[in-house]
Structure 1
């Protein structure tokens, strides 16, 4: 077949990438053509995404992709979940989108649950209760700016907003809509009754389409730059795209970690799993490709290390991952542990100081060396992952025999080997750019080159991965540390 050229716009909470994908009918090869930082802005004490800046960088990258390829068959955008933009009938923003770490939602979840029982919300949405979920953001928006939501023609999630500016479409895509806690996971529609009970308008809610849906050609205003490429909605939630790219060979016995700023730890199910026990454990049911469900829990992830690096840089000590990884070997194992999901780590002003305060509160010595912080974070994450997989096995009845680590965390050999040692099962790391890979694969579905999840996964299996086999001699030490971690976090 003629080689397909697709451009995957992959916007993460830390950086954005424009990836050119070339598909020859069997193998999909990726080439990064543009990368840029994603730096939120603070205005009047609130955090916003610099959406105009991200859009400008996206166009720069798409122009480069078209120049590199000669022509583009399609373009698709994925981003993080839960955040949104409000637009008028012409697609113009009615204000900068808030960043999910903004403090405006700090008490909203409790207020909403005082009005509507958690059991009712979960029975319909199946979504983990987190303070930044779109449901709570919208409630905060209405409290802070009464009437602003009613003035919007459409609420568009961040990737939907970019698709609108590229093609004029005003739809949402299911994997991202499912993260909002405004979507009925069982009925497959917006939970209008829930929003109405909270006094939130529903006329702004867009039509929802499946991943792999063509949205239309690039608008005439961009065709000189981008040609006549078709805009296709991939799994627009970045984790949805990443899991689509999991190089899975055994469909029923694998777990995954989409590892980056956040760690999304889960399994793939054929339908949502909603029960009082699942609610009590606070797991989430998000939409996956081809009607699957991503049953998972959000874990704070490499954000802790990223924020430590930012603080060290502010203090005049810039340290990259490679240096930290080398120095980690010299730090004693399990010298310090934290609960990565402690709320204080969501948006601290100074992550190292916040971690040391946590350690001292829990009878541990404060840390000094950057490598000691790094080892503490990585070991704590591994122990948290193990706890999540343990609970998940009980809730789902699945016997997980291997874990796929996807995304940036797949590059961290310490993290992946320790996870294999702790779980006692193989860890398959890669692809590193799983989100962009899955984005491109679902564009190929929209172009008609791939027809099923099985075909998508067959192509995904041709990517490069690294296998980490468990080291039996290390397993007992990790089991002992798991007991310490459960005592620290109060889990059973």
Structure 2
């Protein structure tokens, strides 16, 4: 009997990270096992909100040690994370500066200035990436103005998963799907664009050749092998978590909209080429690079961040360690299910009451001191009823979010000339039954929810295809359909 082969997805999101082992049993069913999970909490350094890279790295090693202790040594390892954020390293491979997080305010006074100098129309035509104030192009410009000496001292630009790969292997490799989120990659040549780099005020010498998902970075470095007790190949999946999540969508046909639901809601479709028209730019759609140079034509929507922030606030927890006022803790920790139940109860109690709506994509909700007070202020400023109870507040958020989904699908249809007949939701957010019900109702088409571990699955798919477990993506997606339950929600 052949020995079981394991593959490891290290999936690190903005709120938590996890190590997920994947294998395929004798019946062709994909089996997943989470071996390690950790919270990803930011820290305050030199006046900025930063990722705690040392903590993340230590947890990566702890997860690898747990694989060895379980006797399940992976053939390959792949890391994916959120997009846009980066580090700089010098010629000796040492960090230059901090890993500043995208929700930090350093781009607030820079983005508009950069826009005025470069012309948003040209930048969008070149890169196809939607304008967001935290895009890497603006982060680099902000860094150039605050700490030009860091850019001068740097030898390489690495995005967060690329730096973690470097720590694992000793090799520095830039990866395509995450690189496209920077607003610095030409959507047609799939290479760093000189005009965009000039806009970012970043030296071109920092940027290496871009490699595609499926590329082997290298084996584990000797010091890592000594710590974890084994060797394995480190491979590039789609290192941007949305790129991995879209790979795991078990869509039934080409008329399906994909929704990766987590801290962000990424709503869109796979497309054969970039759409960089003025109409697409006005609607703020983006063209992120995908596996096999597919394009993810989608809109980044604020997503579950607002719900996560409300929960943290009610539980007296700060998103950034050491930042903000001390919050009053609830007598009993409030879970996501209780927030959804509060919204559902409010709907049943007052079915005909007017529900205030806010623009979930407004930058005011990106990192407010208090999400609850910011939502109330937005309602007050627009002359709407101000939510007072938790149920009213949550109903406002749920209705606003699903209304944005419906509007985005209508915009998507107009831009692509296609009619969409279903929504396929993957990721942790697909567990929220109330959100799924409201999404089906607001959009007027069926919702298919699952699998939950979409990002980890997509990460594993690239590794397994590259190692010959599956012949291609179609075969891998068929295995996903066979292996995981999908729950259907019909519009009323």
TM-score, with normalisation over the residues of structure 1? 0.93
In structure 1, what is the equivalent of residue 363 of structure 2?
A: 343
What is the deviation of 1:112?
1.2
8 Å contact from structure 1 (residues 232, 446) kept in 2 = no
Q: Which moved more, 1:22-31 or 1:282-291?
A: 22-31
What is the deviation of 1:197?
5.2
1:226–1:8 CA distance, 2 compared to 1 (3 A): farther
In structure 1, what is the equivalent of residue 145 of structure 2?
A: 143
In structure 2, what is the equivalent of residue 307 of structure 1?
A: 309
1:83–1:198 CA distance, 2 compared to 1 (3 A): closer
Residue number among 275, 287, 291 corresponding to 2:289 in the alignment = 287
Task: Confirm or deny that 1:229 pairs with 2:244.
Answer: no
Alignment of 1:331-480 (within 5 A): 331-332=346-347, 333=351, 335-472=355-492
8 Å contact from structure 1 (residues 72, 227) kept in 2 = no
What is the deviation of 1:104?
0.6
Residue number among 248, 255, 258 corresponding to 1:245 in the alignment = 248
Q: Which runs of 4+ in 1 moved over 6 A?
A: none
In structure 1, what is the equivalent of residue 324 of structure 2?
A: none
Alignment of 1:50-199 (within 5 A): 50-196=52-198, 199=201
Task: Confirm or deny that 1:11 pairs with 2:24.
Answer: no
Distance 2:47 2:149 in 1: 22
Task: Confirm or deny that 1:30 pairs with 2:50.
Answer: no
Residue 148 of structure 2 aligns to a residue whose secondary structure is: coil
In structure 2, what is the equivalent of residue 320 of structure 1?
A: 335
Q: Which moved more, 1:372-381 or 1:120-129?
A: 372-381
Cα displacement string for residues 78-100 of structure 1 (whole angstroms, at most 9, x for unaligned residues):
00000001112343211220000
Residue 137 of structure 1 aligns to a residue whose secondary structure is: helix
Distance 1:226 1:359 in 2: 56
Q: Structure 1: which 5+ residue stretches go unaligned? A: 473-492
Cα displacement string for residues 374-422 of structure 1 (whole angstroms, at most 9, x for unaligned residues):
2211111100011001000000012111111111110000111111122
What is the deviation of 1:198?
5.0
What is the deviation of 1:450?
2.7
8 Å contact from structure 2 (residues 137, 196) kept in 1 = no
Q: Which moved more, 1:324-333 or 1:302-311?
A: 324-333
Distance 2:292 2:29 in 1: 21
In structure 1, what is the equivalent of residue 345 of structure 2?
A: 330
Count of residues paired in the alignment: 471
8 Å contact from structure 2 (residues 97, 150) kept in 1 = no
Task: Confirm or deny that 1:267 pairs with 2:287.
Answer: no
Distance 1:138 1:430 in 2: 37
In structure 2, what is the equivalent of residue 483 of structure 1?
A: none
In structure 2, what is the equivalent of residue 477 of structure 1?
A: none
8 Å contact from structure 2 (residues 262, 304) kept in 1 = yes
8 Å contact from structure 2 (residues 446, 491) kept in 1 = no
Distance 1:408 1:342 in 2: 23
What is the deviation of 1:207?
1.7
8 Å contact from structure 1 (residues 76, 231) kept in 2 = yes
In structure 2, what is the equivalent of residue 480 of structure 1?
A: none
What is the deviation of 1:22?
1.6
Distance 1:89 1:229 in 2: 26
What is the deviation of 1:179?
0.4
Q: Which moved more, 1:109-118 or 1:66-75?
A: 66-75
Q: Structure 2: which 5+ residue stretches go unaligned? A: 317-327
8 Å contact from structure 1 (residues 420, 468) kept in 2 = no
What is the deviation of 1:200?
2.1
Residue 306 of structure 1 aligns to a residue whose secondary structure is: helix
TM-score, with normalisation over the residues of structure 2? 0.93
Residue 204 of structure 2 aligns to a residue whose secondary structure is: coil
8 Å contact from structure 2 (residues 447, 488) kept in 1 = yes
What is the deviation of 1:461?
1.7
Q: Which moved more, 1:65-74 or 1:412-421?
A: 65-74
Distance 1:188 1:326 in 2: 45
Q: Which moved more, 1:418-427 or 1:181-190?
A: 418-427
What is the deviation of 1:109?
1.9
